[in-house]
Structure 1
Amino acid sequence: MALIFFCKSLLLSLFFLFIETLAFSADQTVKTYIFRVDRFSKPSIFPTHYHWYTSEFADPVSILHVYDTVFHGFSASLTSSQAASVLQHPSVLASFEDRRRYLHTTRSPQFLGLRNQRGLWSESDYGSDVVIGVFDTGVWPERRSFSDLNLGPVPRRWKGVCETGVRFTSRNCNRKIVGARFFTKGHEAAGRFGGPGGFGGINETVEFRSPRDADGHGTHTASTAAGRYAFRASMAGYASGVAKGVAPKARLAIYKVCWKNSGCFDSDILAAFDAAVVDGVDVISISIGGGDGVSSPYYLDPIAIGAYGATSRGVFVSSSAGNDGPNAMSVTNLAPWITTVGAGTIDRNFPADVVLGNGRKLAGVSLYAGEPLNGKMYPLVYPGKSGVLSASLCMENSLDPTLVRGKIVICDRGSSPRVAKGLVVKKAGGVGMILANGISNGEGLVGDAHLLPACAVGADEGDAVKSYASSGQATATINFRGTIIGIKPAPIVASFSARGPNGLNPEILKPDLIAPGVNILAAWTEAVGPTGLDSDTRKAEFNILSGTSMACPHVSGAAALLKSAHPDWSPAAIRSAMMTTARITNNNMQPMTDEATGKPSTPYDFGAGLLNLDLAMDPGLVYDITNEDYVNFLCAVGYGSKTIQVVTRSPVNCPMKRPMPENLNYPSIAALFTSTSMGVSSKTFIRVATNVGLTNSVYRVKVEPPKGVAVTVKPWKLVFSERERKLSYLVTITFDSKNVVLDDSGAVFGSLSWSDGKHVVRSPIVVTQIDPL
């Protein structure tokens, strides 16, 4: 008995020792943390904040970045107990773990209304001397898009540097690429200590430890924003013509914060914001966001914090809305000081047809440029009929070669890259692929430079081809029809483009607007082929990509043009000019539609509409926003003084009476009414319009109220003069729950426009019924 008792006691002791070891091990796990520090608290004995941080909070080895421009604080690799100890210090305002972010992955300037030798291009000298900072995967500087031929000297105010590294020398910068930096410390820390999601570190077998682009995404976005004229451009014959960016003479500053196969880390992104503002950029373009479609509060979001620091210093920040559409409330990058950009189509397409053995023809798209099938019919097979999900999705090693060899294979979209599915089919011996959308993708299609004959089709055509394949003895072929221009209707809101409402503060409409983001031709890296797959050995100077990543740099380039034409305009004024002049109709002069459903789109899909640069140069009126206005907004949404300081760097005192967040002077109006409000409810909003047109102007209001909603505006006329450049007005929205018929999103939509006979200054109105908290 004594022996049994001793054994039990020993086992129990070992169990508790194991638990304690686990707890100790968990406590000793090192992660990267970002700390916001009250800059005013630095003791005078320390010459710099860095000396203070290393003396009082962490040793020099553990500190990765010190931030002192858009953000005050540091990032460091610490255990959770060390991080908790630092957070207890009275000078530390907040901390958050480093997170991994993801990339939101020509003819578009003409489609936006830009014309040679006139209009905004002419008035802005094509964006000359404006510097666009591109936060992305770097650049392939030898491309024609980045030539500095006939450009003037680098602006004297520019303070940036050209960091060198693997295959990147100081000669890779020029009068076009005026600066280049790369940020590795967050990645390297994640690689050493496991990192968020187990990712991190730089794989130097496929990457360059320098600003050189091994991925292609950064080269594409940089040239979309500001690429020079490149004649005889195409992607393997597709989209041939003259490639050019939106602001062809603007200068580029490259900030490589994203790395091939390992994403982008918050600590590095924040360091790039810090550097870019000191360097002297005018515009920041960041096609990066969370990978889960979930947005953090502003005080926990380094992109929002860094963007505030930049905006407060006069730098325009544009960001992609995300690619999680058409799901509602999928839009990301929601801070009201960021211009959030969704994606639409242009009037160019790359059609391909699937011809079935029964004579039926199904319409699709493709960028395949290899040997065609020449009309030969091949057996058709759908691996998904076996009931194995991985086979239906054509995942790696999921296809039975005996089933697919010599056949055209139907693959379902999802779970793996579209081009990777084609490679799986090719390895298994298939001769072609039909990529079928599911319900979530609807009829939205994007072209891909597949490695084998392949065509993407919508959900309806996908169901049809699967049904035919199950009939037995099915055959098919694929015909590729090249490039077609003049497609109607266009634009259409891309099915993948993230949608509202704003999940943090629905009082602010997001996205702000849309820009071309489907099948966009732009420069490409030489490090990988057009599919981006390691096995793709093709070289392409240009590539065609789709995503809100491609839409964002269109707005960045547009901001550069407007900044060049109007140097005194604030970031908010530039955004206002874009939003109030945006298009909401297609080239058939009909309401814009949704690619996912074919139904009319709403401001939850396109914000204020499609960027229309032909009108944005001269908007008539703008809605300006100051730093104080943004602080009042943060007070309005319930943030306390300490929390607001995390975002704004400076301590604030909110007024006793909390402001209304809806009264931020935004170019759109969103009215929220709770579902418990029975009968009639009213809300009144205030807006301030600034005249940037003719000095003596009279504007009259026109209201298109949401169906079942009453909208009144006082005064109904705004009379501007030399003394009266800013005038305010009130908008009262009356909601009768008994008469309003809400759409599927729980909202109704209208607009408010001011016109002087020449300008039309339009603001979308969104009225939403929400459930009480």
Structure 2
Amino acid sequence: MCVWPESESFKDDGLGSVPSHWKGACDKGQDHKFSCNRKLIGARFFNKGYAAAAGALNASMNTPRDMDGHGTHTLSTAAGSPVPGASVFGFGNGTASGGSPRARVAAYRVCYPPVNGSECFDADILAAFDAAIHDGVHVLSLSLGGDPSNYFDDGIAIGSFHAVRRGIAVVCSAGNSGPALGTASNLAPWIFTTGASTMDRDFPSYIVFEHRKAMAAGKSIIKLKGQSLSMTTLPEKTSYKLIDSAKAGLANATTKDAQLCMIGALDPAKVKGKIVVCLRGISARVAKGEAVKQAGGAGMVLANDASTGNEIIADAHVLPATQIKYRDGLRLYSYLNSTKNPTGFITKPATVVGTKPAPFLAAFSSQGPNIITPEILKPDITAPGVSVIAAWTRANSPTDLAFDLRRVAFNSESGTSMSCPHVSGVVGLLRTLHPEWSPAAIKSAIMTTALEMDNKGELILNASSLPSSPFGFGAGHVSPARAMNPGLVYDLGDADYLDFLCALRYNATVMAMFNGGPYTCPGEAPRRVADLNYPSITAVNVTAAGATARRRVKNVGRPGTYWAFVTEPAGVDVTVTPSILEFHAKGEEKGFEVSFQVNNAALAKDYSFGALVWTNGKQFVRSPLVVKAMA
């Protein structure tokens, strides 16, 4: 493809694409004051599918410009250049940099304001895939997705298949429908699917109050740690009356709406000048603060419900506010209900690094098992996705709420949309370091070197402070430095994925859609889904006869000998054959078989987790083992 020369300015033709006469010149191999052997850098938009549903579009829709902020935030996370002095209202101040800061970037807009509940249409997504493939990109970062569906009905699965077979790595978000199991999306094995977890940076803001104990003990100062990016603060150590929002509703408002601090549900006569305690859920977190502000409240404490547990997010609130954990919320509600005149104050937020434990899995992060192909573990990996600071558009507020008129250059956002470009950036670095590696090899390198332990040396927890599992974090939390030299990789090519589809018994028409032409599936010994050479190994519905999974690993380091070490899933015996692999050259491949035998069906009837590690004493190539016994 072509790119306009650095010495020549490019005038936006309103279409967000290379002018047709330039493209035609490139297609003919001509050089008209610009280089035809360089990759396209630019922005394009695709909205014909959207227009088919929405009707005639306003001219303002015909642009790749980001009016929302989501695309700016994710693209700068993946490949933004280093920018000193980046912060959100002064918080998190430092140098912001994308994962691949020297990469050239191209933006493909496919999402628009919702129509009938849909924002991103398959027709536009597939058109963008086609353009990206033609433009010669190396990595595609897709912070979008929908409900899981069969791969032949999934536009992202189809488009990403054609990208991957052309050597383009595709990274996608797992979704924000957690913590329920079976909620992960973007489930195709050729997609690199990311969950979201925290990092070791906090923005603490405390709610402080005096709790009277027994008469002899007097009072005790209680400080409950929350998170906030509030740009306005209350006077230090000046107490305000506290009120439970459930007791501050208007006469015509339901108790539930008041408890959730819905807009228009709070009574100004009860709220004015007070700090209001609201419950998280249903409405946007910052919108609850706006409800308190409209009613004349001085500040807000947002308490998590049971489902969100310890996942507290630093938001750019419109009034002094902080968000606290579920258990701390219970303590605060207990104080409100046991005290005649409860008072307290909210401290000014700060920026603190090195917090523990970190990372832990975000409650919103969608989880496995894979409901389309249970033999393929999803998500594949987890990465920072909570309170991530990155670039933002001036066309939208930091909260994406209509009442918020503030504008910022950088914003803090949370979601698997934010974790996806973290992984994309790492993929870009590995693509530069190892240009000969396939997308599958890069995925393997990142997965098999990921960390399942937090900075306290314990298994990564979930938002309820309980041990998480591969259904939440996949192979673990991404570790870029370790991924550079993985030792061994699980590689895959076109035929592997096509045979995988054959194993799903896709018919000739569907196979041709993926292959771009007829494809003959293996006849006598068709490939089993369980034998896809994936970096994680999952065996489902294992009977008394046991189950096997075949894998092969490629040496991408020095010659040497690797030994297999297994952490067996509860209730399962695991045998690796052979258990020693000796490599004499770089690029050499060796196969092995993993056998599963259930010894205690009660322990393995739901799902049981373990790990297989190949090591030469220096590198540790780790694969999650996931086993479910036949019910």
* TM, length-normalised to structure 2: 0.89
8 A contact 1:346–1:491 mirrored in 2: yes
Give yes or no for the alignment of 1:698 onto 2:561.
Answer: yes
Superposition RMSD on alpha carbons, in Å? 2.5
Matched residue, 1:165: 14
Matched residue, 1:6: none
Alignment of 1:552-701 (within 5 A): 552-595=420-463, 597-656=464-523, 657-673=525-541, 677=543, 680-694=544-558, 696-701=559-564
Which of these residues, 102, 121, 145, is aligned with residue 265 of structure 1? 121
Alignment of 1:98-247 (within 5 A): 164-165=13-14, 178-192=41-55, 209-247=62-100
Which of these residues, 579, 586, 590, is aligned with residue 727 of structure 1? 590
- Give the AA of the match of 2:139: V
* Cα 1:688/1:176, change in 2 over 3 Å: closer
Give yes or no for the alignment of 1:453 onto 2:306.
Answer: no
Alignment of 1:36-51 (within 5 A): none
8 A contact 1:226–1:244 mirrored in 2: yes
**Counterpart Cα distance in 1 of 2:620 and 2:278:** 48
Q: Structure 1: any 5+ residue segments left out of the alignment?
A: 1-130, 132-152, 193-200
- Alpha-carbon offset, residue 631 of structure 1: 1.2
- Give the AA of the match of 1:257: V
Matched residue, 1:326: 179
Q: Structure 2: any 5+ residue segments left out of the alignment?
A: 20-34, 212-220
- Alpha-carbon offset, residue 169 of structure 1: 11
- Alpha-carbon offset, residue 653 of structure 1: 3.0
- Give the AA of the match of 1:282: H
- Give the AA of the match of 1:501: P
8 A contact 1:162–1:178 mirrored in 2: no
Q: For each residue in 1:334-392, what CA deviation from the matched residue of structure 2 results, as whole angstroms up to 9, or x when unmatched? A: 01000000111111111111112423222211111224342222222223256522222
Matched residue, 2:27: none
8 A contact 1:164–1:210 mirrored in 2: no
* Cα 1:453/1:167, change in 2 over 3 Å: farther
Matched residue, 2:390: 522
Which of these residues, 278, 299, 302, is aligned with residue 435 of structure 1? 302
Matched residue, 1:492: 360
Give yes or no for the alignment of 1:707 onto 2:570.
Answer: yes
Matched residue, 1:380: 242
- Give the AA of the match of 2:244: Y
8 A contact 1:681–1:736 mirrored in 2: no
* Cα 1:672/1:703, change in 2 over 3 Å: same
- Alpha-carbon offset, residue 155 of structure 1: 11
**Counterpart Cα distance in 1 of 2:187 and 2:586:** 36
Which of these residues, 294, 319, 342, is aligned with residue 474 of structure 1? 342
8 A contact 1:168–1:212 mirrored in 2: no
8 A contact 2:16–2:43 mirrored in 1: no
8 A contact 1:163–1:181 mirrored in 2: no
**Counterpart Cα distance in 1 of 2:127 and 2:388:** 30
* TM, length-normalised to structure 1: 0.73
Which of these residues, 269, 274, 277, is aligned with residue 133 of structure 2? 277
**Counterpart Cα distance in 2 of 1:768 and 1:167:** 49
**Counterpart Cα distance in 2 of 1:686 and 1:649:** 28
Alignment of 1:506-545 (within 5 A): 506-545=374-413
Q: For each residue in 1:316-349, what CA deviation from the matched residue of structure 2 results, as whole angstroms up to 9, or x when unmatched? A: 0000111111111111110100000011111111
**Counterpart Cα distance in 2 of 1:168 and 1:241:** 34
- Give the AA of the match of 1:286: L
* Identical-pair percentage: 46
- Alpha-carbon offset, residue 467 of structure 1: 3.0
Which of these residues, 334, 337, 349, is aligned with residue 202 of structure 2? 349
8 A contact 1:163–1:210 mirrored in 2: no
8 A contact 2:39–2:135 mirrored in 1: no
- Alpha-carbon offset, residue 752 of structure 1: 0.8
Matched residue, 1:393: 260
- Alpha-carbon offset, residue 166 of structure 1: 9.1
Equivalent residue of 1:281, what SS? Answer: coil
8 A contact 1:166–1:208 mirrored in 2: no
Q: For each residue in 1:644-675, what CA deviation from the matched residue of structure 2 results, as whole angstroms up to 9, or x when unmatched? A: 3333333223334543211000001001125x
* Cα 1:446/1:682, change in 2 over 3 Å: same
**Counterpart Cα distance in 2 of 1:261 and 1:355:** 41
Aligned residues: 591
Equivalent residue of 1:492, what SS? Answer: coil
* Cα 1:406/1:500, change in 2 over 3 Å: same
- Give the AA of the match of 2:400: G
* Cα 1:606/1:203, change in 2 over 3 Å: farther
- Alpha-carbon offset, residue 212 of structure 1: 1.4
Equivalent residue of 1:251, what SS? Answer: coil
